[in-house]
Amino acid sequence: MKNLILSTLLLSVPLLATENLAITNAPENISLTIYGSNLAMISEKRSAMIDNPGSVKLMYPGVPSLIDTSSVIAIFSQPVRLFSQNYSYDVISYSSLLKYHTGRVVRYTDDEESTERKEGTLLSTNPILIREKDEGAIHTPYKVFFPSIPKEMAIKPSLFWNIKTDTKELDIDLKYLTKGLSWKSDYTIDLLDDNRLNLNSWVTITNNSGATYHDADITVLAGDVNMPKKQEIHRVYAKSRMAAVAEDGGNIQNEAFSGYHIYKIPFRETIKDKEKKQISFIGKKAIAYEKYAFNKESFYFSNFGERKLRFSQIVEFKNSEENHLGIPLPKGTVRVYKEDQDKVSRFVGASTIRDIPKDETVKLTIGKYFDIVGKEKIVDFRQTKRERHISYEITVNNHSQKDEVIKLYKSVPTNQGKLTITDTCSKQCSKEQLNAFEARYTIALKPDEAYKMTISYDMKMY
């Protein structure tokens, strides 16, 4: 197919020349509040010079292509009557100009060597077909030249307001919601030894909203914000509203806000469209932690014979000031590293966390143990219409070359009768009875040590 090129003639065509048009300048004092659910609130200020007060089409260019127009709040500094708001997202491109000019007269050249610009009617865009002037032949041109830029098309996604005002200088404070902006927390943990760790994290912001935000004040919000299916219609106020934003130095500051937590970036940043930006968030050292093997198997009154037990690797620590932390931790991914005997750092697993308030426990499941194994088997099983008895033997083996702590969580998912539980947990085994049906056993094992215990359940049905 012949090469089709958009003519530089476009550069000489005035945009919207026939309108009483006023265009706002570049935004200032941009403020972003970014939520974790592909949503952000944008606040910015602009001004416009109006040469001919009266009925004016006010153009607000450069808004995100994913803006929620029903969320727009515009505050004008002077009395303004607003009649309508339009959102133009069919921005100028070769394909959009072809589509617009279908059925209209355009200019074209026939081949690469031709300098004569002929006139014809654009019949279709795929493939591009031209009918020569005066009902001539139909063919595919080499170049297409457009006579003008349509006034209803914008270079960037834009808001258009039809307003009436007597002022020549107008300040606008605009707030709106947009999709396409999101953030998440990414954490890294370095296990220094068997009881201390360092925690670092990034705030990762992803911008696919269709706009760039220059020198913006950024706040991220942790928590689940409800979004109804229908938003309120836009509101416009003819009065000024000013808000001072205080910047704080140091690390990202957090504060409780309306049932959520907000984290303020202490410096301004530019976030470009199609960009992923990472900002340092937390850096805490010497946090005490516990690492142990954990197994939680479902138990039922049935003669299952024998089964193997596998153990998860758990890293657990308290999110408290006493433990050199005490910061509300937003949900995210945690990646864990540890040095080997040659002082080479190795990745040892990852986990996700929910939103963790301060003074709560962080529990990470980072993988499965290779050298810690176990099994349980039924050693006694009896059942009648009114009574059930089951005893099973648990064996845990530590084949590693270091001391290990093993925790077993046992529960009976029934409350249909009177339950009596007995066990042989003793010596290096301790038991915590969580409630009438749940217990946690903690077993300390030396290298290459095994431990065996029996748990019996007697149920008398009501």
The string of pLDDT tens digits covering residues 262-290 is 888 888 999 999 999 998 888 999 999 99
Task: Express each pLDDT in 148-186 by its tens digit.
Answer: 776 656 677 888 899 999 999 999 999 999 999 999 999
What are the residue ranges spanned by the domains of the chain? 94-145, 290-314+361-461
Dihedral sign, Cα of residue 80, residue 81, residue 87, residue 88: negative
Q: Are 211 and 45 in contact (CB under 8 A)?
A: no
Position 388: which residue type?
Answer: R
Residue with tokens 């000013």: 242
Name the one residue in this structure whose structure tokens are 């606040």: 43
pLDDT at 84 over 50: yes
The residues that bridge with 169 in the sheet, in sequence order, are: 49
Q: What is the pLDDT of residue 67?
A: 92
Q: Does 271 or 259 have the greater pLDDT score?
A: 271
Residue 270 CB neighbour total at 10 angstroms: 12
pLDDT in tens, 446-456: 999 999 999 99
Query: If 0-12 CB within 10 Å is exposed, 13-18 middle and 19+ buried, where does residue 417 land?
Result: middle
**The pLDDT of residue 154:** 66
Q: What share of the chain is helix, strand, coil (3-state, %, to 5)?
A: 5, 60, 40
Cα distance between residue 200 and residue 336, in whole Å: 11
284: its two tokens: 């805490």
Residue 93 has pLDDT above 90, yes or no: no
Instruction: Please provide the average confidence, as pLDDT, over all residues in the chain.
Output: 84
pLDDT value at residue 107? 84
* pLDDT for residue 270: 94
CA pair distance 104, 99, nearest whole angstrom: 10
Question: Is there a contact between 336 and 346 (Cβ–Cβ < 8 Å)?
Answer: no
Query: Are the C-beta atoms of residues 311 and 395 closer than 8 Å to each other?
Result: no
**Share of residues in the chain with pLDDT > 90 (%):** 50
List, for residues 115-151, the tens digit of each pLDDT value.
888 888 888 888 888 888 877 888 888 888 877 776 6
Q: Which two tokens stand for residue 149?
A: 């830029």
Q: What is the mean pLDDT of residues 61-73?
A: 91
pLDDT of residue 228: 63
**Residues 341, 343, 349, 353, CA torsion sign:** positive
- Predicted pLDDT at 152: 59
pLDDT at 248: 32
User: Residue 288 pairs with which residues in a beta bridge?
Assistant: 196
Which range, of 52-61, 97-106, 180-189, 191-200, averages the lowest pLDDT?
97-106
How far, in Å, CA of 51 to CA of 19, rounded?
12
Give the Cα separation of 353 and 329 in Å (integer).
9
Contact 282, 254 (CB under 8 A): no
What pLDDT score was predicted for residue 171? 93
Q: Is the dihedral of CA 222, 228, 230, 234 positive or negative?
A: negative
**Residue 421 reports pLDDT greater than 70:** yes
Question: pLDDT band at 420, cuts 50/70/90?
Answer: confident
CATH architecture of 290-314+361-461: Sandwich (2.60)
Asked if residue 213 has pLDDT above 80, the reply is yes
Residues 143 and 95: their CA atoms lie apart, in Å, by 14
pLDDT at 437: 81
Q: Is a pLDDT exceeding 50 seen at residue 217?
A: yes
* pLDDT category of residue 371 using cuts at 50, 70 and 90: very high
Q: Is the pLDDT of residue 243 over 50?
A: no
pLDDT at res. 96:
77
Provide the percentage of residues in the chain whose pLDDT is more than 70: 87
Q: pTM above 0.85?
A: no
48 or 232: whose pLDDT is higher? 48
Kindly report which listed range (1-10, 148-157, 249-258) carries the lowest average pLDDT score: 1-10
Examine the pLDDT at 88 and tell me if it is beyond 60: yes
Backbone angles phi, psi at 24, to 5 degrees: -70, 155
**pLDDT tens track for 296-347:** 977 666 767 888 999 999 999 999 999 999 999 999 999 999 999 999 999 9
Cβ contact 425:393 at 8 Å? no
Q: Is the pLDDT of residue 260 over 60?
A: yes
Per-residue pLDDT, 139: 82
Structure tokens at 104: 């209209």
